[in-house]
Structure 1
Amino acid sequence: MASSAPAIAPSDAGTPGNMADVRRNNLALVLGRVVQSPAGFHLTRAQLAAATGLTKASVSSIVLDLLDAGILREVGLSRHGERGRPGVGLELNPSRGVMGMEINVDYIAAGVTRLSGELVVKDVLERDNRDSASDAVMSALAGLASGVRQAASALGLDVLGGGLAVPGLVEAGSSTVTVAPNLGWVDTKLDVARLLPGVPLGVSLFNEANAAALAELAHSPGRRDFMFISGEVGVGGGLVLNSELFTGPEGNAGEVGHIVVDPEGAPCSCGGTGCLETVAGQDAIFSAAGITVKGRTRTESMADLLGDLAAGSPAAVSAVQRAGRALGVAVASASRVVNVRAVVLGGHFAILDRWLHGPLLESLAKYAPGALSPEHVITSTVGDAGALLGAAGSVVRALVEAPHRLQA
C-alpha cells in the first residue's frame, strides 16, 4: 500500500518546544516504512533505523509505541539483509482492520480490510436509494455495517475506523454531501458516527469514484497517471497524477460524467444537458436497450442486458455501442485537458467492455488521435469492491500519517 508519510530526518528535530511534533512525525516515518515494505519482507528495528536515518534507540522507542498501540506486531526473527544475529521482524498487526462503506443509487455495501489492504469480509444489499431521506439510508447502512463488523470480530479483527464513499461531491474534511444528484441530496449532513460507534479513528466521507481510483492506485503501484471512470447509475471519475489523487481546489475535479457529449441531448440530473451520464449511465443504457428497471434489482436488469447482448439484440447492442462512443468522446476531451495516458474503467463499463470497447476506441481515434494507446484503456483490477477498498485504504493512509491517534 502506498504511503504518504512525511520523511522527517533527525536533523529536523528543531527546538525543545516542538519535540512532540517531531515525535509524531517520526512515528509516521517509521510506520510508513513498514507499510511500504514488500509483502513477506519484515523489517527489523535496525533496518528501520538505516532506512529512516533515525537512531536505533529512537526507532526502538517508536516501535514500542506502535506495538503498544496495536498497529504493529513482531513476527519472529528476520535475516533479510542483515549480518550476524537476526533481528525481530515487524509487520502490520493482522488483527486490526478498517471498514469501507458505500452508498450508491441502487445498493449499499460494507467491507472490512486488514491494515495491509486485504479484504476479509464484505456484504452488499441492493436497495433503491433514489430520492430517499438520508436518515433512512444511513439507518440501513448502519445495520449492514453492524453485521459486517460482527463477522470481522468473529474472525479476530478489531475495526479501528471507517470510510464512507458516496456518489456525489463531498465537503472536504467534513461529513457533508454537497450534492449527490442521483440521490436527491443537497448540502446533506450525514451522521457518520452512527455507522461505527466507538471506533478510535471515526468515520470519514469520500467521493465514490475518487475512493475507487485510490484503490486502483494501491493495487497497481506501477501505474502513476490515469483517469478512473466508474459506471453506475451515474458516471463518476477520479484523476491520479504522479501517484496522487488530484481533486482540484474545491475537491470536485474528475467529474467526467458531466462532460457534455451531446449538446442537444437529454436533461441531466446535474441540471445540465447532454452529459455523458445521460447516454452511458446505467439507467440510460437500460432504457435505450428496452430493459425494465422499475421494481427490479440492478442485478436482474444487468442479467437481462447481458443476455440480450449475447443474443445479438439490436436494441441492446446499439445502446451499449452508443454509450461506448459517448464515453470515447468524454475521454478524448478529458485527456486533452489533463494529459493522462491511461484510462481505467470500472462498474458497468468493465462488465460491458466486450461490447463497449471497440466503439470507445473508435471515438478516441476520431476525436483525440494518438492521445491514448488502445492498450492503455483497461478495466479495473479491483472490480466492484473498488470504492470500499479505496475508502478503507484512505483510513489506513490517515493512520500512517498520524499513528499517534491510536496511542493510549
Structure 2
Amino acid sequence: MAQARASAPEPAPGRVGRAEAARWSGALDLLRLVRARPGVTRAEAARVLHVGSGTATEISSRLRALDLLSEHPAPPTGRGRPTTTLHAHPDGPLAVVVDVRQAEWRVAVADLEGTLSEAATGRHGSKRPEPVFGAIREAVAAIADRHGTRIRAVSVSAAATVRRGRIEQSSVLGWRDVEVAPLLPGVPQVLGNDATLAGLAEARLAHPGRSVLYLTIEVGIGGVYVDGDRAITGATGAGGEFGHAPFGDPGVPCPCGATGCWDVAVDGRAVARHLGEPEPDDPRAYLIDALVDPDARAAVAQCATTLGRGAAGLANVLDPEVVSFGGLAPEVRRAAPDAFAAAFEAGLMGFRRDDPPALIASALGPDAFLLGAAEAAFDEVLTEHGLASWVEARAD
C-alpha cells in the first residue's frame, strides 16, 4: 500500500516567514549532520545541534515524512532513554556522480550518506568531447530511468582545469574551452576539477573542520587547499592548480603552455625523461611500473625529491594542519622515503620544522573523485531551494 505523502509547506505570501525559515534551517542542519556522520543517534544530534530532544524528535519526524531520513533503534548503552540512529531514507534523494579520466569514465549513484552504487565504466573510443559525453549521457539516462525524480543533482569530476563552470583545458584529454551540456535536462549540474573534488572529500570525510592541503599524482599532480570544509578555489574556480607552480625544471615545457611546471616533474613523464626514454603514452601506468623497477630507482627518487620540495613550499604558503597525499603520491613517497623527507624538511621554513603539518596518505582510494563529486552534488541538494524542490517533486 502506498504511503501518504506529506504536503509541501506553504511560505508566507511574497517571502519565507521566519518560522518557516527556521524549520528549514533546522532540517538542513540535521541532514548535513547525518551526511557527515551516518548513523548518528538522535540524542547525539540534539547535543551537536544545540537543540532540545523534543525539537530533534520533531525535525526528524518531519524529515521521515518527507522521505529524507530513516530511523532505527539504537543499541542500548545504559539506563538512559532509548534513542534512534539516523540514516538516509531508502527512497530519499540521490545524485548521479561522474568521473572523467584520461582513458575512461565512471558513473555511479550516491545517496545522502555518501554510499556509491550502480557503478558503470566505459573507455574512450574517441577523446573528442562529444562522443565522450555522449556515452556518459546514455549511462546517466539509464540511471534516471530507474530512479526518476529521486535524482536531484548531477556532479562531474574531470581531469581538467575548470573555470567559471566550464572546462578551460585538459592536457591529458587534449581539450580546450569545453562546455559540458546538461547530462540530465532539468536537473542541477555541477562541474569540478578532479583533484579539487577528491581533496574536498578527503578533508570532509577524514579530517572534518581542519585545514587540509591535498595533493594527488595521477598524470601530473593536482590538489586543493580546504579550510574549514570549504575548498579554496579562487575568483573563477580555477584555484588549486598546484601542478602549474614552477617547482620543476625551468627548461621543461608543460602542455598547459608554461615551462617548469611541477606537473611534469613528478609523474611517469618525469621518470621517463630522467631515464632518457620517450614520453609514455600512459604516464600513470608507466609510473606504476617504474615504482617497482630497480633500474628506475634513481629516477623515482628525483621525483620524490621534487614532490617533497613542492609540498614544503605549499605548506609554507598555506599553513595547513594536514598534508594528505592521494593517487600515486603515497607510492612515490614510499619508494624513496629518505629523498622525500630530506627535501621536505629542507624546504620548510625554520620555525615550521619544530611543528610541521601531519603528512598522511589518503584513505579514500580510487573512489576519491566520485566521493568528491557527491560532496559537491549534495551541497546543491541540501539547501532551502533544494529541499523545497524535493517536496514539490514528491507532491506531483
TM-score by length of 1: 0.77
Q: CA deviation at 1:120?
A: 3.2
Following the alignment from structure 1 to structure 2, what is the Cα–Cα distance between the partners of residues 119 and 186? 30
Structure 2 residue corresponding to 1:383, chosen from 343, 365, 370: 365
Alignment pair present for 1:344 and 2:328:
no
**Structure 2 CA distance for partners of 1:227 and 1:126, relative to 1, 3 Å:** farther
Q: Percent identity?
A: 22
The code of the aligned residue for 1:133 comes to R
Q: Where do 1:7-406 residues align within 5 Å?
A: 17-19=15-17, 20-36=20-36, 38-43=37-42, 48=46, 51-53=49-51, 56=54, 60=58, 62-76=59-73, 86=82, 90-96=86-92, 97-127=94-124, 132-145=127-140, 149=143, 159-172=151-164, 174=165, 176-191=166-181, 193-194=182-183, 196=184, 202-221=188-207, 224-262=210-248, 264-289=250-275, 290=277, 293-294=280-281, 299=285, 301-302=286-287, 304-308=289-293, 312-313=294-295, 316-368=296-348, 371=352, 376-402=358-384, 403-406=387-390
Contact 1:42 1:91 in 2 (8 A): no
The code of the aligned residue for 1:322 comes to Q
Q: CA deviation at 1:363?
A: 1.1
Question: Pairwise CA RMSD of aligned residues?
Answer: 3.8
Match of 1:4 in 2: none
The code of the aligned residue for 2:119 comes to K
**Structure 2 CA distance for partners of 1:179 and 1:93, relative to 1, 3 Å:** same
Contact 1:239 1:253 in 2 (8 A): no
Contact 2:42 2:85 in 1 (8 A): yes
Contact 1:100 1:111 in 2 (8 A): yes
Following the alignment from structure 2 to structure 1, what is the Cα–Cα distance between the partners of residues 66 and 272? 50
Following the alignment from structure 1 to structure 2, what is the Cα–Cα distance between the partners of residues 51 and 22? 13
Following the alignment from structure 1 to structure 2, what is the Cα–Cα distance between the partners of residues 378 and 184? 32
Q: CA deviation at 1:319?
A: 2.4
Structure 1 residues 20-55: Cα deviation after superposition (integer angstroms, max 9, x where no partner): 54443333133234445x5543316x9749945479
Contact 1:24 1:404 in 2 (8 A): no
Following the alignment from structure 1 to structure 2, what is the Cα–Cα distance between the partners of residues 50 and 231? 37
Following the alignment from structure 1 to structure 2, what is the Cα–Cα distance between the partners of residues 321 and 50? 46
**Structure 2 CA distance for partners of 1:47 and 1:22, relative to 1, 3 Å:** closer
Following the alignment from structure 2 to structure 1, what is the Cα–Cα distance between the partners of residues 336 and 139? 34
The code of the aligned residue for 1:382 comes to L
Contact 1:100 1:110 in 2 (8 A): yes
Q: CA deviation at 1:356?
A: 4.0
Structure 1 residues 301-323: Cα deviation after superposition (integer angstroms, max 9, x where no partner): 45533442xxx11xx22321121
The code of the aligned residue for 1:407 comes to V
Instruction: Please give the secondary structure, in 1, of the residue aligned with 2:119.
Output: strand
Following the alignment from structure 1 to structure 2, what is the Cα–Cα distance between the partners of residues 77 and 343? 36
Q: CA deviation at 1:14?
A: 12
Greater Cα offset, 240-249 or 267-276:
240-249
**Structure 2 CA distance for partners of 1:27 and 1:341, relative to 1, 3 Å:** closer
Contact 2:267 2:283 in 1 (8 A): no
The code of the aligned residue for 2:302 comes to R
Following the alignment from structure 2 to structure 1, what is the Cα–Cα distance between the partners of residues 205 and 227? 16
Following the alignment from structure 1 to structure 2, what is the Cα–Cα distance between the partners of residues 352 and 77? 44
The code of the aligned residue for 1:213 comes to G
Structure 1 residues 268-304: Cα deviation after superposition (integer angstroms, max 9, x where no partner): 122111111121134333454448733x6954x4553
Structure 1 residues 304-355: Cα deviation after superposition (integer angstroms, max 9, x where no partner): 33442xxx11xx2232112111122222222221122432111222333321
Following the alignment from structure 1 to structure 2, what is the Cα–Cα distance between the partners of residues 332 and 303? 24
The code of the aligned residue for 2:318 comes to V
Contact 1:107 1:128 in 2 (8 A): no
Q: Which runs of 5+ in 2 are unaligned?
A: 1-10
Following the alignment from structure 1 to structure 2, what is the Cα–Cα distance between the partners of residues 34 and 222? 14
**Structure 2 CA distance for partners of 1:292 and 1:263, relative to 1, 3 Å:** closer
